[in-house]
Amino acid sequence: MHLYALVEIPAEAQDVEAAVATALAPYREFGPDGEHIESGLWDWYRIGGRWAGLVDGDSTRRGSLADEHRPALLITIAGGAFAAERWNGASFDDTSAAFDAAWRDLDPDARLVVVDCHT
């Protein structure tokens, strides 16, 4: 399944691809030896991907995004990974309260990159 994700990166990041890779690394589904990580959120990703052009450019500021641009997955520098719902192996768990709080509390000046995550 493809997820529209927004990944927060440091404002001073010069290499967007490296900053996104660093932010997403803790949430991958498979480790370096191919072992499955149960808590993982993605098996591959692409900056932009299916969601390129959804917002004005692939890197934007939170203050410029209205609620209709809320992602399915939000990766923040300070707080981690948030999803509106999460697959537990048998069904989806409602994790929307934590997601809503993270989206609401995200700094309006946060630098965000649009990412197509596959899980």
pLDDT value for 94: 67
Report how far Cα 7 is from the mean position of its chain's Cα atoms: 4
**How high is the pLDDT of residue 87?**
66
Residue 46 is predicted with a pLDDT of 94
Greatest C-alpha distance within the chain: 41
Query: Distance between CA 38 and CA 41 in Å, rounded?
Result: 9
- Provide the pLDDT for residue 119: 80
Distances in Å between the Cα of 16 and the Cα atoms of 48, 93, 105 are 12, 32, 23
Instruction: Please give the pLDDT value at position 24.
Output: 93
Q: Would you state the pLDDT for residue 34?
A: 84
Residue 112 in contact with residue 59, Cβ under 8 Å?
yes
pLDDT of 58: 57
Q: How far apart are CA 33 and CA 12, in angstroms?
A: 32
41 Ramachandran zone, left/alpha/beta (phi>0; psi -120 to 50): alpha
**Overall pTM surpassing 0.85 (yes/no):** no
3-state secondary structure of 3: strand
- The pLDDT tens digits along the chain (119 residues) read 888 899 999 888 899 999 999 999 998 888 888 888 877 888 899 999 888 887 766 566 676 777 777 788 899 988 788 887 776 666 666 677 888 888 888 887 888 899 999 88
